[in-house]
Amino acid sequence: MQYSLTAAALVASATLCLAAPADISKRSSFVVDQVAAGQVLKSGPIQMMQTYNKYAKVGAVAPSAVVDAAAAAKQSGSVSANPEQYDQSYLCPVSVGGQTLNLDFDTGSADLQSSGHAKYNPSTSGTKKSGYTWKISYGDGSGAGGTVYSDKVVVGPVTATSQAVEAATSVSAQFTQDTDNDGLLGLAFSSINTVQPQQQTTFFDTVKSSLASPLFTADLKHAAAGSYGFGYIDSSKYVGSITYVPVSTANGFWEFTAGAYAVGSGSSSGSIGDAIADTGTSLMYIPTAAVTAYYKQVSGAQNSQNAGGYIFPCSSTLPNFKVTIGGATYTVPGSYINYAPNGDGTCFGGIQANTGIGFTIFGDVFLKAVFAVFDQTQSSPRLGFANQ
């Protein structure tokens, strides 16, 4: 019988192929390049609903306008089928039980999650972890759950020989819609792993002692394949210096404090505040005051009840968005903030309000503008950012 990999961590009870702890030179450092994995439909309302579902576990509640807009988009097939409403999906190849899956590396999750079309066959090399289960329920009633296996998972040259892999025995239709994405590999902290009766560790936490340095980097690109580096920092990937900020692990995320923001050439004002860096979320969700300030500078922009968020004429020129983190300022080009056409001459904004979430999410709209370092080399974790 085949099972689909969904929602929960690559986890740890592992006997790993590790170099001698004292010999740093023999530990691993490597890069995982994203690969083009097919076209995906972009829908702002559906993307927003997916984000609220993802963070329902920490109390996120979607506004009724988002719920209604996402439901309407799904019922109508999202949008009309124009080429401009599709985007290339960029994923990372990972070997799970000898099978290559294209996964989304997700710093906002501690899970390995599958869309459901790619089948994991535990009979190849997996061993069932008796009595272990997992279950995820989302705010819109969707979810998945199943059993847990111990299997070999390989990322780059690093192997976890007894990594826990979660196999779905029940899964909602929402998990099977993207036929090119085989799932996600969680890179948040293991404290939010969903395995019961005993939480397991993420793949990174399992193998970090085998890396030259316990860190990984994200070098994501706008409209192009990016890469993730493990165990080292590639100085050719950024310019200037890396600015680090402390990370709170209290909620299991790469959580930090962001400072003032500015729109276009305007002066800085306000403060973004509590935020997380999430490679598995497409948009930026920031405080309402910052969102309002941004779209005041966009001709024809409106907060649309029907769309569930800010939209604007696709012909409008979007200003850059700047944010200060740890004393350094980073710029998101306006072109990155035009997320997707709605099929009616308007486009959906890549910056939206974090209403109902409780914190800011710096998703791919921001992360594609920077080089990010997820660092556990110090006594407590830290995040580093630099300009690409």
**What is the domain-level CATH number for residue 264?**
2.40.70.10
Residue 20 lies in a domain: no
- According to the model, what pLDDT value does residue 1 have? 37
* pLDDT for 10 beyond 50: no
Among the three residues 155, 177, 210, which one is the final residue of a domain in this structure? 210
Q: How many domains does the chain have?
A: 2
- According to the model, what pLDDT value does residue 86 have? 77
- Please, what is the angle between helix 44-54 and helix 64-75, to 10°? 120
Express each pLDDT in 15-47 by its tens digit: 222 233 334 455 799 999 999 988 888 899 999
87 is catalytic: no
* C-alpha to C-alpha distances, 6 to 144, 150, 198, 200, nearest whole angstrom: 7, 15, 18, 15
What is the band of 179 on the pLDDT scale with cuts at 50, 70, 90? low
Catalytic residue, candidates 151, 219, 278, 364: 278
Contact present, 339 and 321 (Cβ < 8 Å): no
- According to the model, what pLDDT value does residue 39 have? 85
Choice between 182 and 239, residue whose per-residue pLDDT is larger = 239
Domain of residue 327, residue span:
230-387
* pLDDT for 106 beyond 70: yes
* pLDDT for 360 beyond 80: yes
Instruction: Looking at the structure, tell me whether residues 195 and 239 fall in a common domain.
Output: no
Q: What is the mean pLDDT of residues 155-164?
A: 89
Residues 241-252 as b or e (16 or more Cβ within 10 Å = b): ebbbbebebebb
Among 120-129, 143-152, 185-194, the range with the most confident prediction by mean pLDDT is 185-194
Q: Please state the φ and ψ torsions of residue 113, each to the nearest 5 degrees.
A: -125, 135
* C-alpha to C-alpha distances, 363 to 81, 118, 323, 366, nearest whole angstrom: 26, 26, 14, 6
Among the three residues 175, 210, 245, which one is the final residue of a domain in this structure? 210
- Number of residues in the chain: 388
Among 80-94, 119-133, 329-343, the range with the most confident prediction by mean pLDDT is 329-343
Strands 346-349 and 338-341: antiparallel
Q: What is the mean pLDDT of residues 362-378?
A: 98
Q: Please state the φ and ψ torsions of residue 200, each to the nearest 5 degrees.
A: -115, 165
Express each pLDDT in 275-327 by its tens digit: 999 999 999 999 999 999 999 999 999 999 999 999 999 999 999 999 999 99
Instruction: Looking at the structure, tell me whether residues 308 and 363 fall in a common domain.
Output: yes
What is the band of 369 on the pLDDT scale with cuts at 50, 70, 90? very high
* pTM assigned to the model: 0.90
- According to the model, what pLDDT value does residue 118 have? 55
Contact present, 314 and 289 (Cβ < 8 Å): no
Choice between 378 and 85, residue whose per-residue pLDDT is larger = 378
Choice between 113 and 279, residue whose per-residue pLDDT is larger = 279
H or E element at residue 285 = strand 284-286
Contact present, 265 and 67 (Cβ < 8 Å): no
**348 forms bridges with which residues in the sheet?**
311, 340
Instruction: Looking at the structure, tell me whether residues 247 and 187 fall in a common domain.
Output: no
User: 64: which 2 tokens?
Assistant: 């009724």
Q: What is the distance between the alpha carbons of residues 291 and 364, in angstroms, rounded to a whole number?
A: 17
Query: Taking the CA of residue 100 as centre, how many other CA atoms within 13 Å lie in the half-sphere pointing to its CB?
Result: 6
Catalytic residue, candidates 104, 106, 111, 178: 106
Instruction: Looking at the structure, tell me whether residues 234 and 382 fall in a common domain.
Output: yes
Residue 275 lies in a domain: yes
Choice between 357 and 184, residue whose per-residue pLDDT is larger = 357
* pLDDT for 139 beyond 80: no
106 is catalytic: yes
